[in-house]
Amino acid sequence: METQIKKQHHWGIHSVSYWITLLLALGIIFIGARFILQPQVGAIGYGISFNNEHDAAYGKIKGIRDIFSGIVLLPLLAMQMRKATAWVFTTTIIVPAVDFLIIFSTNGIGDVEHLLIHGVTALIMIANSFLLFRAGKQSSKE
């Protein structure tokens, strides 16, 4: 029987990975809202502008999906469910990775600005994913 009470370290607001996840979730919600409210501005920010006014509908479709991608993380963060957050967050890395490939195949290597936006986002998400999973290993060792 242990005579000391071990201090429990819970993942949450004191964790860097928590705040990175929250900032990225809020960021993609903002980007989605921009696509719904100003589809052409959103498309230009993405890296592929619209050809005609009817294309704006696709911007709104993308917008609601972006908003969902951010909102789905918020309850997991609020409940400090690190493992669930880690898995959901990790699966969403596919979005900026494929966005990078879409920009590359559409605009070519010359569109460095948008390639960097999507590529760096994917890399930050990969690094944060490691932090999210690592946080669980650290707290289980104590």
Domain assignment of residue 48, yes or no: yes
Domain assignment of residue 35, yes or no: yes
Domain assignment of residue 2, yes or no: no
Domain assignment of residue 7, yes or no: no
CA-closest candidate to residue 82, choices 21, 24, 125: 21
pLDDT score of 10: 81
Domain assignment of residue 103, yes or no: yes
Boundaries of domain holding 56? 16-137
Q: How many of the other CB atoms lie within 10 Å of CB of 10?
A: 11
pLDDT score of 9: 56
pLDDT score of 139: 56
Domain assignment of residue 96, yes or no: yes
pLDDT score of 53: 84
Domain assignment of residue 63, yes or no: yes
The tokens 């370290």 sit on which residue? 9
Domain count of the fold of the chain: 1
User: Tens-of-pLDDT digits for all 142 residues of the chain?
Assistant: 555 444 445 899 999 999 999 999 999 999 999 999 999 999 999 999 999 889 999 999 999 999 999 999 999 999 999 999 999 999 999 999 999 999 999 999 999 999 999 999 999 999 999 999 998 776 554 4
Domain assignment of residue 33, yes or no: yes
Q: 115 with 104: CB under 8 angstroms?
A: yes
